[in-house]
Amino acid sequence: MEVGKLSPEYFEAVAVCELDKTTFSVLDIEEGDPVRVETIEGSVIVRSKLDRRAEPGVAFIPCGPYANMIMNADTEMTGMPRFKEMEAIIFAAKDETILSIEELME
Amino acid sequence: MGISIPDVVCPFCGCLCDDLIIHVDNGRIIKNEHGCAISKSKFLHHLDDRLEHPEIRDGDSHQTVELKTAISHCVDLLKNARRPLIYGLSSVENDAHREAYKIADLVGAIVDNTSSVCHGPTILGTQESGEAAGSLAEVKNRADLVIYWGSNPQFAHPRHISRFVKPPGEFIHDPRTDREVWVFDIRKSITATLADRFVKVEPGRDLEVLSALRALVRGHEIDVSEVGGVPIDTIRELAERMKSAKYGILFFGLGLTQSHGRHHNVDAAIRLVQDLNSYTKWNMMSMRGHYNVAGANKTLTWTTGYPFAVDFSRGFPRYQPGEYTAVDLLRRGEVDVLLNIGADPVAHFPKVAVSHIRKIPVINIDPKRNLTSLFAEVNIPTAIAGIECDGAAVRMDGLPLYLKKVMNPPEGIIPDREVLQMIYEQLEEVMQ
């Protein structure tokens, strides 16, 4: 938080997907295991994080370079991409690696 | 012997908390009293992760250069650009805006601020339906019903509730009993756990819920069992309660502006507040994020007549969201030079826009290293306004506040406004 965009703290904060308890058991993963999030725009591997208040059907990735990989850039003539909602499919990706921000940008 | 500087304004979020006490000892900030966790981190870590020198790209790395060399390089890039974009401006103070607009006018650039990806749709909604305005002090003194819609202030504006909702006010003697807080959101956020009532809305269905509330406030019946995931009886009850409030305030965040419907959501919320004013007093306010994004809208409006997405290429300002907004310009591959001031589009834009940024020269003006600085052609470090230089900024309710300088910037580093002024003056010389 306000430490720096190239800091490990920023990576830890943005390379995550917050999921509910039921989704964890359906995907058969533990908190911290990588998940692959796929939308029509692309896919990205991020770390799973448990949100105890969350309910099945809605997952959350914070604004940042990982979310941007799967966002639609169409602004429908408003200037604003639809940052808040994309239909996505989430897969367990235990054997896959979460790219660093530098690797993600390549 | 250290000194304490009282009444310092925090340059982090749109709350612009103006009650900080900053303790400086031996040339370092050692304590931030009253600030939230983010504010404390901003002040105490202001020297971390800085861009230390002006630098110009050389192959895969950057070479440190003199400031005047970096400025000359910027001037060359801007002078020869056919479709330059000036973007950012929400985390710099008002005087820097003026210099940026002068550059845009001179070279025929497009100016867009970060509101195009935050509350730009709020402005579009306001242009459709009118602006409700009132101060945060009014909320504290009068509001007996506070709604946060698509907003999570406990995370993004950590002192918003503790400064304006929790304390007693002139007509709210005991906020625990005299004031109710509701949260409308698609998920139960931290703020929702603190609220008196949480209303869960299905993702992308805010417009329907707002429209149903409007219909019920106006006395119409709706022949459905639920709208947007909310039972109709609940919406009816909420509508009645909203009509019976003495003073209601609807704070709304990016949950409304960045989701399906965008400005139509804000438009519907404004119309709801207008309808409620037939019965009682209601107001609404956007939860502005960066500390001076509201200022960027104000200064651009009073300079050009338009709040964001302004094109100077014909020699006079033209406004068209969707056409002159940063994401659209980059997505279409129109821009050939990007002058980025106090923002990080590489971190925050969709990948198709980022991939165009990677193809063009970027002039990056910012105190700190960020993802955009990694790929910039020129990086020029600047002082952090509100910590290392003074300036003016605009709070989320439109109140301008003076940012204090509490200590000197690192040696050789000057404010954004002075860097931009140098670019402007040199451009003016070479373009005569």
Interchain proximity B259–A85, CB inside 8 Å: yes
Domain-located, residue B159 = yes
Query: Distance of CA B173 to CAs B141, B166, B168, B214, B250, Å?
Result: 9, 11, 5, 30, 21
The pLDDT assigned to B264 comes to 97
Query: Distance of CA B169 to CAs A72, B127, B395, Å?
Result: 44, 32, 20
Could you say which of B286, B311, B343 is where a domain stops? B286
**B87 pLDDT higher than 90:** yes
Query: Nearest by CB to A5, which of B328, B344, B352?
Result: B344
β-partners of residue A18 are: A49, A60
Which one of B258, B300, B340, B362 makes the best mutation probe of the A interface by having the most chain A beta carbons within 10 Å? B258
How crowded is the C-beta side of B139, counted as CA atoms within 13 Å?
26
Q: Are residues B243 and B296 in the same domain?
A: no
pLDDT band at B67 (very low <50, low <70, confident <90, very high): very high
Q: Are residues B150 and B91 in the same domain?
A: no
Domain formed by A8-105, architecture: Beta Barrel (2.40)
Containing structural domain, residue B355:
55-117+291-384+413-430
Q: How far is A13 from chain B (nearest CA, A)?
A: 13
Determine the 3-state secondary structure of B193 from DSSP: helix
Domain-located, residue B230 = yes
Q: Are residues B222 and B268 in the same domain?
A: yes
Q: How many domains does chain B have?
A: 2
Q: Are residues B337 and B356 in the same domain?
A: yes
Could you say which of B286, B302, B321 is where a domain stops? B286
CA dist A27 and A29 (Å) reads 6
Query: Nearest by CB to A2, which of B45, B327, B354?
Result: B45
Q: What is the mean pLDDT of residues B63-74?
A: 98
The pLDDT assigned to B300 comes to 98
Q: Are residues B296 and B325 in the same domain?
A: yes
Q: What is the mean pLDDT of residues A25-54?
A: 96
Tell me which residues of chain A have a C-beta less than 8 Å from any C-beta of chain B.
Answer: 1-7, 41-42, 51, 53-55, 58, 60, 63-65, 68-69, 71-73, 75-85, 101-102, 105
Q: Which domain CATH number covers B60? A: 3.40.50.740
Complex ipTM: 0.94
Q: Which residues on chain A are in Cβ contact (under 8 Å) with B263? A: 78
Query: Nearest by CB to B260, which of A42, A73, A85?
Result: A85
Which one of B262, B263, B306 makes the best mutation probe of the A interface by having the most chain A beta carbons within 10 Å? B262
**B141 pLDDT higher than 70:** yes
**A54 pLDDT higher than 80:** yes
**B1 pLDDT higher than 90:** no
Q: Percentage helix, strand, coil, to 5, in chain A?
A: 20, 25, 55
Q: Are residues B162 and B306 in the same domain?
A: no
Average per-residue pLDDT for chain B: 97
Domain-located, residue B20 = no
Summarised one tens digit per residue, pLDDT across range B245-277 is: 999 999 999 999 999 999 999 999 999 999 999
- Asked whether B391 and B415 are in contact (CB, 8 A), the reply is yes
Interchain proximity A6–B370, CB inside 8 Å: yes
- Asked whether B37 and A1 are in contact (CB, 8 A), the reply is yes
Domain-located, residue B17 = no
Q: Is the dihedral of CA B177, B183, B184, B187 positive or negative?
A: negative
**A1 pLDDT higher than 70:** no
Query: Nearest by CB to B322, which of A53, A79, A102?
Result: A79
Residue B406 corresponds to which tokens in the numbers above? 């509490």
pLDDT band at B167 (very low <50, low <70, confident <90, very high): very high
Could you say which of B286, B303, B323 is where a domain stops? B286
CA dist B186 and B376 (Å) reads 37
Q: Which domain CATH number covers B194? A: 3.40.228.10
Interchain proximity B258–A75, CB inside 8 Å: no
The pLDDT assigned to B19 comes to 97
**B350 pLDDT higher than 80:** yes
Domain-located, residue B95 = yes
**B351 pLDDT higher than 80:** yes
Q: How far is B188 from chain A (nearest CA, A)?
A: 6
Query: Nearest by CB to B187, which of A54, A73, A79?
Result: A54
Q: Which residues on chain B are in Cβ contact (under 8 Å) with A55? A: 187-188
Summarised one tens digit per residue, pLDDT across range B192-207 is: 999 999 999 999 999 9
Q: Are residues B112 and B124 in the same domain?
A: no
Q: Which of B249, B222, B54 lies closest to B151 in space, CA to CA?
A: B249
Interchain proximity A73–B188, CB inside 8 Å: no
The pLDDT assigned to A3 comes to 73
Q: Are residues B213 and B323 in the same domain?
A: no
Q: Residue A63: closest CA among chain B residues belongs to which residue? A: B348
Q: How far is A52 from chain B (nearest CA, A)?
A: 9
The domain segmentation of chain A, as residue ranges, is: 8-105
Domain-located, residue B184 = yes
Domain-located, residue B47 = no
Q: What is the mean pLDDT of residues B193-222?
A: 97
Q: Are residues B242 and B323 in the same domain?
A: no
pLDDT band at A105 (very low <50, low <70, confident <90, very high): confident
Q: Which residues on chain B are in Cβ contact (under 8 Å) with A84? A: 150, 203-204, 254-255, 258-260
Q: Are residues B113 and B124 in the same domain?
A: no
Q: Are residues B355 and B220 in the same domain?
A: no
Q: What is the mean pLDDT of residues B79-107?
A: 98
The pLDDT assigned to B432 comes to 81
